[in-house]
Chains A and B, each alone.
Chain A
């Protein structure tokens, strides 16, 4: 007989819609609350990002909300207690904010650069960037420098949009999908939704990755490449395509700089720059007119290949000729790169030809009329249905910028960009190449007290004059971004901040504010030494730390919190107002421009404040011009008021939906005082669906570009010409060669790096660390994968998710382990040039033979994150970070140089090389060991032995 079943208490429940923040994916969520308690978090089926589904992290949001690691009240380091001792006192918010305001006022009135403000995995960089700009410090960035800047920069300097978050594969029409080095990271749900769609439609999925877990598990073809070799593999594919004339002539002539003429005068000034007319337009050779014509003109017939003579007698050559000569070289032939890549020549050739077959023999034609930017009407859209996506495994190498450009080169040759079945742009992209935004580098402005920067701290240099350096060539930013060491560092170099600030190189900071970033643990290279740096005292100043004042803003008790002088406790994503803005990291999809909000679903039960709110408050207290009325009073009542009324340009604000006085305008319009209410009524997101004629070829789509210009996505409606050959890179190379008319570096190391790595065409070189360590001594590559159940959700050490994964192992190819006499669960030593760790081994088949890997960020310091001291994350879990230096191995006569991509400053995590040996009998447990963190004031309850979460308010029963 059937039992009596408990049923839902619908009459005690309410449903609210918001945006997930368990990772960077930012899915729409539908939250059922029962008398204020979270009953169920599910995907919002109307939301463009996740279309109703939700990942493990999203479903575990409840356990983040009820985590014992939540901070409760502002904290200040106890007087007399050493930094890092974990001795704190609770203080009131007013006291904390007064103290901070006073300190910041002093810095702003004397030398604003003495403030560093760096943020972690936040998605509110439009606000934090504005705040830093208004403060007047160039020392601001988010965590992109150690995450994904290689992807963003390579894309934005090549195609006008990019992997990472400015584009997505077109899963509806793709027939061939190749995924490069995606370590189960961005973007979580869309990729999973898309892979199923692709396979259901009969498309082929190829994964290039040294490790076969997660997405790669369901790949039709797995290409276990050696780490750092993707660029070489990609350029060999280019070789195969070129050698059989498998490229899209029309696409290259119409939409790229393939026919542009490049001055070919090696060793002379001006070498490698485009031949331009008086108006500055690059020139091409017209086949019909047999004359030089402007490359910007249409109805011309540009020669794609050829060598010509400029009117001034200089020899010139088309981009495509240069490119063909470079990559047709036997150096790039599959049989000549196979050994280095660890990929058989047949595989390289097959992948190239499969892509070509799908692109050219299985093209998609859609009956969609559209108008190109030159006003010509077309009656159909043709798609070459090869889609790609690339992320971590490309990004995290010191050759990643060029590797990513090599992948974009394949896409351009195939004509497979922003068409049906391609990798397509997400609004507000595409943008001009690179985007027309330069980092502030005016010395007078940067040095001026109480003065905002005239432009944002971050941007896209195109020539040496754009660097952020002083007259002597020294970096003006604490992270040395936009210096000769990392000229295109569009996301900054957060991984260098603590090292540089401790070394007072290029200068000392006064205050470092860190938001949502665990720089004392898993978000830094060289963790153990970085912790020591945070404790380091200044020999010249009595009782002062090298970094005098450290402000940490977080919602949970992280390892970083332990080092704070002042802790400002944040809220959870279910407790605050927030915007996911088109001015920031967009959640748009290729067919939809979109943004979203969060609003408080749960009342606060402790004395914490949303960092958004605190930033607006601080900006008002410090009287930033954008936040202050002429009479000196605050302009905005708080964050929600700021979001409604702040306009970056007339009609353009943080939220694009329901603008205009009556809320009837989209993308652009006057502020709407009821905008928050409109979002809440509409499930907390706004989606603007592109009409069919604006969905494709947006780099040259008149209607799209005109609308994009009107709503402020781009400056003006003009064609976005893709750059196979990058002139900005060449300008820096000339500076390195001493051939540039303008600033040039003095230091030989800088000169050498520019000359070598600023190649205007995509190149491959051995990763920098690898160039400096003995391969025989350190035979293995060591990398990390992001576990799908936790990626970006380490910030609460979730009671449910940690049941799935609470210990990481070092994984090794089973055959390799057998040859070395190693077996599952052995304790091993893993040693790099920077240090060593002890951890436990697991063997597997799905791992390239010369690679070892582990899950990222599972290891925790004892006592952090509300965990008990015996938590396996702290006793058996480990970090690879200890092995990775933020600096390259020392070279005689050279200053210490960042372990980063020489073009972008992207942290080169995956360049790590290690040796492995079995630990001695009795050597068990992870090493190095760290002391247990003290509990924070107010955190006096013992951790529960048993957790029985239920949102039920009473027992409603009935027969089902």
Chain B
């Protein structure tokens, strides 16, 4: 299995629902708590596994706003795992999820320097690195209803811009949608072979407007224009 996410840029409105649901689940999750610094002071910050960035493409008035959620890509060739001096970072053989053993991590930051996607966040209180677990503590939990055994971000996304599944299975919903919509990985040229995929904006098909209606109604209005319509 190769578990990961598909994120549909065409419908992501940048609402941060995934960001906060992730924070909420994982605060009490397997690597929680996720520390917040200065929660009520100047420049509040904290540990988050998923962040949305906003970009603009093109110039006014032909500009487009792109909302771009980013979290761990669960790379096939994960440099963060290779560089880890303690073996805390590992990629699971059975499903491809990249995790950090909190008992082994010494917070040296090597992995975060190795990660080009900025997915790793140091919890200064626990002294350990933390990151997206794909909600490994939800997706295999048999006491959670089967339809909810999904990462919190996917479960909550109001515009259904996030999907979760097995990319090794060509018939899975994620594999299919990536084929249909020309899904792409982020920065494949770096060679980490990321698992998560993004779906590009769709192009709406043009609506024909030629020859609509009967021009000249203003002139016709002076004469008899009524149609007999039964009320």
Contacts and interface: CB of A to CB of B under 8 A. Distances in A.
A, B: real partners? yes
Interface of A: 1-8, 10, 34, 39-43, 45, 50, 52-60, 62, 68, 176, 188-189, 192-193, 195-196, 199-200, 202, 204-205, 212-218, 220-222, 224, 241-246, 249-250, 253-254, 259, 287-288, 297-306, 321, 324-325, 328, 350, 353-354, 356-358, 360-361, 788-789, 797, 799-804, 806, 813-815, 844-847, 849, 866-868, 870-872, 875, 943-952, 960
A845 B207 contact: no
B192 interface: no
10 contacts: A3-B90, A10-B143, A42-B152, A54-B21, A59-B24, A221-B204, A242-B217, A249-B229, A802-B39, A945-B41
Given A217-B13, A845-B63, A849-B60, A357 B209 contact: yes
B141 interface: yes
Contacts of A212: 63-65
Contacts of A55: 15, 17, 156, 158
B44 A845 contact: no
A788 B229 contact: no
B171 interface: no
Given A204-B207, A350-B209, A42 B156 contact: yes
A950 B207 contact: no
Nearest to A297: B231
B67 interface: yes
Interface string B208-231: 110011111110110001111111
Contacts of B217: 242-245, 324, 328
Contacts of B226: 287, 303-306
Nearest to A789: B16
Given A214-B14, A788-B13, A944 B39 contact: yes
Contacts of B152: 40, 42
A188 B231 CA distance: 39
Interface size class of B (residues with CB under 8 A): 35 or more
B75 to A, nearest CB: 18
Contacts of A870: 41-42
A951 B147 CA distance: 23
Contacts of A297: 231
Interface stretch (B25-33, B76-84, B109-117, B182-190): B25-33
A195 B42 contact: no
B19 A845 contact: no
A215 B204 contact: no
A298 B17 contact: no
B63 A846 contact: yes
Nearest to B207: A354
Nearest to B158: A192
A217 B67 contact: yes
**Closest CB pairs A-B (n = 5):** A244-B213, A3-B101, A192-B158, A845-B63, A217-B65
Q: Is the interface of B mostly helix, strand, loop or mixed?
A: loop
A8 to B, nearest CB: 6
B106 interface: no
Interface string B160-186: 110000000000000000000000000
A254 B15 CA distance: 42
Contacts of B61: 222, 224
Given A41-B24, A217-B13, A960 B229 contact: no
A960 B36 contact: no
A674 B13 CA distance: 42
B66 to A, nearest CB: 7
Contacts of A3: 90, 99-104
A789 B19 CA distance: 10
A215 B10 CA distance: 11
B32 A300 contact: no
Contacts of B230: 299-301
Given A357-B209, A943-B41, A951 B28 contact: yes
B70 interface: no
B19 A56 contact: yes
B28 A950 contact: yes
A57 B17 CA distance: 7
Nearest to A949: B27
A800 B212 contact: no
Contact of A195 (B13, B19, B39): B13
A946 B36 contact: yes
Contacts of A1: 90
A691 B12 CA distance: 33
Interface in B86-106: 90, 92, 99-104
A53 B17 contact: yes
A203 to B, nearest CB: 8
A801 B16 CA distance: 9
A813 B45 CA distance: 29
B158 A53 contact: yes
Given A8-B141, A946-B35, A59 B65 contact: no
A52 B17 CA distance: 12
A357 B207 contact: yes
B33 A353 contact: no
Given A54-B156, A254-B231, A943 B40 contact: yes
Given A242-B217, A253-B231, A867-B40, A305 B27 contact: no
